Structure 1
Amino acid sequence: MANTRDALGTAQPQAFKPGMPLIALLSRESGESLADQIVRSVVARIDDKVLRSGARMPSIRAFAQSHGVSPFTVVASYDRLVARGYLESRRGAGFYVRERAAPILRSTRDPAAAHGIEGGAMDVTWLVRNMFRQAPYQQMPGTGVLPSDWLDGAGIANALRAISRQHPGTLVNYGVPQGFLPLRQQLQQKLGELEVQATPEQIVTTAGVTQALDMVAREFTQPGDTIFVDDPAWFLMFGSFAALGARVVGIPRLADGPDLAALAQLAALHKPKLYVINSVLHNPSSTSLSAAKAFQILRLAEEHDFLVVEDDIYCDLHPGPAVQPVTRLAALDQLQRVIYLGGFSKTMAANLRVGYIATSRERAQRLADRKMLQTLTTSEIGERVVYKVLSEGTFRKHTDRIRTRLDELRSRTVRQMERVGLKIAVAPMAGMFVWADAGRDTNVLAAQAMGQDLLLAPGSLFSPSQLPSQYMRLNIAAMQEPAVWRFLEKELA
């Protein structure tokens, strides 16, 4: 097998031919040896069944020639893969992918799956830890949030003061497991504007979309089950799902949604329980799902009996169908097979940790019971604050201002990215992220940037396989610091 790349840089399987590379990117600049990179890449392809049991591996000479490495490196890599049970050596015939009794779950904390950098391994934990460090926002172009001065801190403060005066009991009492009823009624109206019909009984509040994903995975999967995610996709869920004992398989993401041929093939092979997808303003590319693909996803979900988890956390950054066409799976399916997730951390306040799940009445009750057993309730203080902001009508104007500021930055920021040597295959029309091709291993680039107190988000962390990548996610709202441009211009020249 070998890999090509789609418009978003996602690996696409195709038949191996002599002279074609089996591995998309080997980096001599990283702290990881070439043999380690080869072993890790082949393991990922076998675990994801891109390389099937019984497949013949390229000969040592062919592999060495197609990847520009020495035969000794290939021999060492193949020997280690044999020792780990991934390959078998057949005398006089070469190396073959070995039949495996059970899949091996790859953890994002596996030292063999991480690039070493000074101060620790560059993995998902490294990125999240550094996103929470006390550094100027302008020095973190890899961050996933907007600047605090873009958000409505004054409105949140006013809402908190009003709640403490009018409802002092909320400061000391539990809420209810399903969530603050007036907020769920307000969310019913918000969902109706998105053409998703849901009663308050079909909505469960959560501590952000992160908890929502964890609750859904715990309720609807068991250890050993498969969960599909986009590849690339939001990185935090990979380790979370793997920690539950789930097998996480990436579905190549194209500019208009998933690769449907790959989705159909992998669904037949793995029989997943869930498929987690951003339909609107996908993270990290800010692209959206086409209507044609939305219908096909639901057809495949019905055919292979899996639930679709639609993460719409960036909902309020999209200008709406009157400005740009947009299709939500929940609007087509009306929560029959789709579990819809939303929240306000990106546009209102991350610190409130208020998200929600909308689904069928029966699933909502199951999730509310699970939430009760896990955490009793979520904070009603935060839920009341969100309710007050939404019900007073100021939130719509606030999000209009955010979208306008992003629109004013986007085109000139993308042009400047291209001037310093980044390639943008799909320029986004909305949202805060750009998925950029740096033309080199972005783990190495991120390590160099960290040496200058600049945080980048390398593309390897956005794939469940965490293979080396030339891509990285950049936040246009955090790209206004001259030091960021000086660094990129120097390193990419």
Structure 2
Amino acid sequence: MTNTPAFAFTRAEGEPLAEQIVRAVAARVDERLLRPGARMPSIRQFAASHGVSPFTVVASYDRLVAQGYLESRRGAGFFVRERQPVPARLATQPAAVPDSLDIAWLVRSMFRQAPLGFQPGSGVLPVGWLDGPAVANALRALSRQNCDGLLGYGPPHGFLPLRQQLQLKLAEMEIEAGPEQLVTTLGVTQALDLVAREFCQPGDTVLVDDPAWFLMFGSFAALGLKVVGVPRRADGPDLAQLEHLAALHRPRLFVINSVLHNPTSSSISAAKAFQVLRLAEQHGFLVVEDDIYCDLHPGGATRLAALDGLQRVIYLGGFSKSMAANLRVGFIATSRERALRLSDRKMLATLSTSDLGERVVYKILSEGHYRKHLDRIRARLDKARPGALRRLETLGLAVESAPAAGMFVWVDAGCDTNALTARALGLDILLAPGSLFSPNQQPSTRMRLNLAALQDPAVWRFLETRGA
């Protein structure tokens, strides 16, 4: 037996004995009281000398091996492992700002800021606005069920009960789609990628709103597609430009946020929605309706998929903005034939999506708490919006069209927002400059602000001085 010092454990602490052993041994290793290479007592020796069961020691040693404190040598026992020093915390100093800001830079910066606090350039709600207990409760409930269904691949179209629940959700928006018309995805990002890969070839043109969600610009370009922007107005796309560009480029797709457009939070009018569908039929392109922000809208919005019956519209949705970004659960609603093609394309890309994440989302949706959660989010945004808009105007940040719903406001700062973003990053404040929201990536005086993130006094101090 080694000269390992004895440990004191108690059953009165309320902490399981295995966890006490792991904590005590780990502390001795971290404090160098147990040196690398030292042999640990055998399982029976440790159990006998400390009055615990061998099963408890086995569980403890296994966890210490998994955490890198011990190593198991077959036939020889357990030994203290050499550990690399771990920094107390990751460096949080801003990365150097490149000469030219691009999409990859903004995405890297967003993840560097994780977990996101009050970052006005973020595209998601602060964590404190989301319903963490609902996600945790759903996970706990799943852990108590038979785990056989979690151990294999999920079905190609996605978890059937979730698709049946989505059928009900879509019906409330007057979008008729059976489960066989729905394909689950790893968020809307994968949904867009699958659609582009299935229905486009290198060299094809894809029309997008301008401004629009920046990530798809780089994704489409990587597929060899030409991305052309259609100017966005307060009530939808510029129809004259859409008609001109459709005739000129013969696009395969037109990707549009019809409701709570990113970055302006505007929504399409019924009149323009009908005209978009008319032009799609006339020029032979598919309309991809990205409705990721649908749950932040109070209701009554016009949706292209409802007007079209999913004949020429491919509808995309998900829960990253309102439930949990980390679940990565999105979906596609389209015709049966296209849904089958997209499920095959999905299998070629990832075999299947995470059945666990889809079961969590199904659990939350089916229990009815999600509606109340959305009511709370919308109420908080409605409360924050008027004061924030007035204050922005007071500071000289012009808002062309004040949004009535949603989390974003599109402002004109009156200066190059690339330079403004660089100054903000020096203070660990993340902004989203307007240049990134246009396919041509030209410098812009505009930027997107997240209303939910305009609760931090430091953000307002920066906006007041513009970092001067």
Which of 191, 196, 215 is the equivalent residue of 1:212?
191
Q: Which amino acid aligns with 1:383?
A: E
* Residue number in structure 1 paired with 2:13: none
State whether residues 118 and 126 of structure 2, in contact with CA within 8 Å, keep that contact through their aligned partners in structure 1.
Answer: no
* Residue number in structure 1 paired with 2:358: 383
* Residue number in structure 2 paired with 1:222: 201
Bigger mean CA offset, 136-145 vs 458-467: 136-145
Give deviations 1:259-309, integer Å, cap 9, x for gaps: 000000010000000000000000000000000000000000000000000
State whether residues 436 and 471 of structure 1, in contact with CA within 8 Å, keep that contact through their aligned partners in structure 2.
Answer: yes
Question: How many angstroms does 1:161 deviate by?
Answer: 1.0
Give deviations 1:428-451, integer Å, cap 9, x for gaps: 000000000001110010001111
**Aligned partners of 2:431 and 2:410: how far apart in 1?**
12
State whether residues 164 and 179 of structure 2, in contact with CA within 8 Å, keep that contact through their aligned partners in structure 1.
Answer: yes
Could you tell me the percent identity over the aligned residues? 72
* Residue number in structure 1 paired with 2:423: 448
Q: What's the TM-score, normalizing by structure 1?
A: 0.74
Q: Cα gap change, 1:264/1:119 in structure 2, threshold over 3 Å: closer, same or farther? A: closer
State whether residues 406 and 476 of structure 1, in contact with CA within 8 Å, keep that contact through their aligned partners in structure 2.
Answer: yes
* Residue number in structure 1 paired with 2:220: 241
Matched, 1:365 2:340: yes
* Residue number in structure 2 paired with 1:94: none
Where 1:466 maps in the other structure, the secondary structure is coil
State whether residues 138 and 481 of structure 1, in contact with CA within 8 Å, keep that contact through their aligned partners in structure 2.
Answer: no
**Aligned partners of 2:467 and 2:410: how far apart in 1?**
16
Matched, 1:154 2:103: no
Alignment of 1:57-206 (within 5 A): 118=97, 121-134=100-113, 137-206=116-185
State whether residues 138 and 480 of structure 1, in contact with CA within 8 Å, keep that contact through their aligned partners in structure 2.
Answer: no
Q: What's the TM-score, normalizing by structure 2?
A: 0.78
Q: Cα gap change, 1:246/1:136 in structure 2, threshold over 3 Å: closer, same or farther? A: closer
Where 2:399 maps in the other structure, the secondary structure is coil
Where 1:166 maps in the other structure, the secondary structure is coil
Give deviations 1:354-387, integer Å, cap 9, x for gaps: 0000000000000000001110000000000000
State whether residues 433 and 474 of structure 1, in contact with CA within 8 Å, keep that contact through their aligned partners in structure 2.
Answer: yes
State whether residues 202 and 224 of structure 2, in contact with CA within 8 Å, keep that contact through their aligned partners in structure 1.
Answer: yes
Which of 374, 387, 408 is the equivalent residue of 1:399?
374
Which of 186, 190, 210 is the equivalent residue of 1:231?
210
**Aligned partners of 2:113 and 2:425: how far apart in 1?**
14
Question: How many angstroms does 1:136 deviate by?
Answer: 6.7
Structure 1 segments (4+ residues) deviating >3 Å: 116-121, 134-139
Bigger mean CA offset, 163-172 vs 441-450: 163-172
Bigger mean CA offset, 281-290 vs 476-485: 476-485
**Aligned partners of 1:146 and 1:182: how far apart in 2?**
27
RMSD over aligned CA atoms reads: 1.4
Q: Which amino acid aligns with 1:229?
A: V
State whether residues 118 and 455 of structure 2, in contact with CA within 8 Å, keep that contact through their aligned partners in structure 1.
Answer: no
* Residue number in structure 1 paired with 2:54: none
Question: How many angstroms does 1:488 deviate by?
Answer: 1.2
Q: Cα gap change, 1:136/1:208 in structure 2, threshold over 3 Å: closer, same or farther? A: closer
Matched, 1:268 2:247: yes
Q: Cα gap change, 1:118/1:193 in structure 2, threshold over 3 Å: closer, same or farther? A: closer
Q: Cα gap change, 1:136/1:484 in structure 2, threshold over 3 Å: closer, same or farther? A: farther
State whether residues 204 and 357 of structure 1, in contact with CA within 8 Å, keep that contact through their aligned partners in structure 2.
Answer: yes
Where 1:248 maps in the other structure, the secondary structure is strand
State whether residues 423 and 467 of structure 2, in contact with CA within 8 Å, keep that contact through their aligned partners in structure 1.
Answer: no
**Aligned partners of 2:99 and 2:332: how far apart in 1?**
36
Which of 403, 416, 419 is the equivalent residue of 1:428?
403
State whether residues 424 and 467 of structure 2, in contact with CA within 8 Å, keep that contact through their aligned partners in structure 1.
Answer: no
Q: Which amino acid aligns with 1:488?
A: L
Question: How many angstroms does 1:418 deviate by?
Answer: 1.0
Give deviations 1:455-477, integer Å, cap 9, x for gaps: 10000000000011110000010
Question: How many angstroms does 1:170 deviate by?
Answer: 3.4
Question: How many angstroms does 1:492 deviate by?
Answer: 8.1
**Aligned partners of 2:316 and 2:308: how far apart in 1?**
14
State whether residues 223 and 245 of structure 1, in contact with CA within 8 Å, keep that contact through their aligned partners in structure 2.
Answer: yes
- Alignment length (residue pairs): 374
**Aligned partners of 1:270 and 1:167: how far apart in 2?**
53
Q: Which amino acid aligns with 1:287?
A: S
Alignment of 1:253-332 (within 5 A): 253-321=232-300, 326-332=301-307
State whether residues 194 and 331 of structure 1, in contact with CA within 8 Å, keep that contact through their aligned partners in structure 2.
Answer: yes
Q: Which amino acid aligns with 2:385?
A: R
**Aligned partners of 1:425 and 1:166: how far apart in 2?**
52
State whether residues 438 and 492 of structure 1, in contact with CA within 8 Å, keep that contact through their aligned partners in structure 2.
Answer: no
State whether residues 180 and 380 of structure 1, in contact with CA within 8 Å, keep that contact through their aligned partners in structure 2.
Answer: yes
Question: How many angstroms does 1:171 deviate by?
Answer: 3.4
Q: Which amino acid aligns with 1:351?
A: N
Which of 428, 434, 449 is the equivalent residue of 1:459?
434
**Aligned partners of 1:462 and 1:440: how far apart in 2?**
16
Where 2:144 maps in the other structure, the secondary structure is helix
Matched, 1:252 2:226: no
Give deviations 1:194-232, integer Å, cap 9, x for gaps: 000011000000000000000000000000000000000
**Aligned partners of 1:120 and 1:439: how far apart in 2?**
21
Question: How many angstroms does 1:193 deviate by?
Answer: 0.4
Where 2:230 maps in the other structure, the secondary structure is strand
Question: How many angstroms does 1:141 deviate by?
Answer: 0.5
**Aligned partners of 1:379 and 1:120: how far apart in 2?**
39
**Aligned partners of 1:249 and 1:372: how far apart in 2?**
29
Question: How many angstroms does 1:119 deviate by?
Answer: 5.3
Where 1:174 maps in the other structure, the secondary structure is coil
* Residue number in structure 1 paired with 2:324: 349
Give deviations 1:322-362, integer Å, cap 9, x for gaps: xxxx2100000010000000000000100000000000000
**Aligned partners of 1:201 and 1:138: how far apart in 2?**
39
* Residue number in structure 2 paired with 1:481: 456
Where 1:241 maps in the other structure, the secondary structure is helix
Give deviations 1:226-273, integer Å, cap 9, x for gaps: 000000000000000010000000000000000000000010000000
State whether residues 280 and 315 of structure 1, in contact with CA within 8 Å, keep that contact through their aligned partners in structure 2.
Answer: yes
Question: How many angstroms does 1:413 deviate by?
Answer: 0.6
